[in-house]
Structure 1
Amino acid sequence: MNKVFMTGYYQGVVEVAPAALSAAKVEELAVTMTIQHLRHAGVAITTIHDFLVDEIHANERVVNRYIGDNADQLETAQAQILAGAFNN
């Protein structure tokens, strides 16, 4: 994975996130989706962490909260974030 592709994926999530989400929830959604996508593509966890923190400048606490989650946990977190956008 090159950085341009990874950055584009993250930015794409940010751009299509529901407007009802706060900036913090949009970041959380983008982080969880990026982690899941890149792990599925075989990118090492340390590479994903460093990319999100050093290149994207995502909140390191958010990254650290989700970096060790498996696909089911990431999907659950994403569903909860999106449900919050439509239940308010």
Structure 2
Amino acid sequence: MNRTFMTGYYQGVVEVAPAALSAAQVEELAVTMTIQHLRHAGVAVTTIHDFLVDDIGADARLVSQFINLDAAQLEAAQAKIMAIAFK
């Protein structure tokens, strides 16, 4: 998977995130969705981490918080953020 595609996926999440979310919540949503998507595509965890931190500039602590979660845990984190947007 090339970096252009990975960057486009992350940016797409940021662009379509609900306007009711704060910048921090949008970043969290984009990080969790990108991790889940790239892991599903078979990208190595270290590659995902380096991409998010080095290429995208995502908060390293945020990436570390979510990088080792399984799909169900990532979906739960995403659902929590989306629930905030639609309160």
**4+ residue segments displaced more than 4 Å:** none
In the alignment, residue 65 of structure 2 is paired with which amino acid? R
The two structures, once aligned, show a CA RMSD in angstroms of 0.3
What is the CA–CA distance in structure 2 between the aligned matches of 1:81 and 1:42, rounded to whole Å? 25
Could you tell me how far 1:40 is from its partner in structure 2? 0.1
In structure 2, stretches of 5+ residues that fail to align are: none
Question: How many residues matched?
Answer: 87
* TM-score (norm. length: structure 1): 0.98
Could you tell me how far 1:82 is from its partner in structure 2? 0.4
- Indicate the percent of aligned positions where both proteins have the same amino acid: 76
* TM-score (norm. length: structure 2): 0.99
Could you tell me how far 1:38 is from its partner in structure 2? 0.1
In the alignment, residue 23 of structure 2 is paired with which amino acid? A
In structure 1, stretches of 5+ residues that fail to align are: none
Aligned-partner SS, 2:68: coil
Any residues of structure 2 matched to 1:1-88 within 5 Å, and which? Answer: 1-87=1-87
Could you tell me how far 1:35 is from its partner in structure 2? 0.1
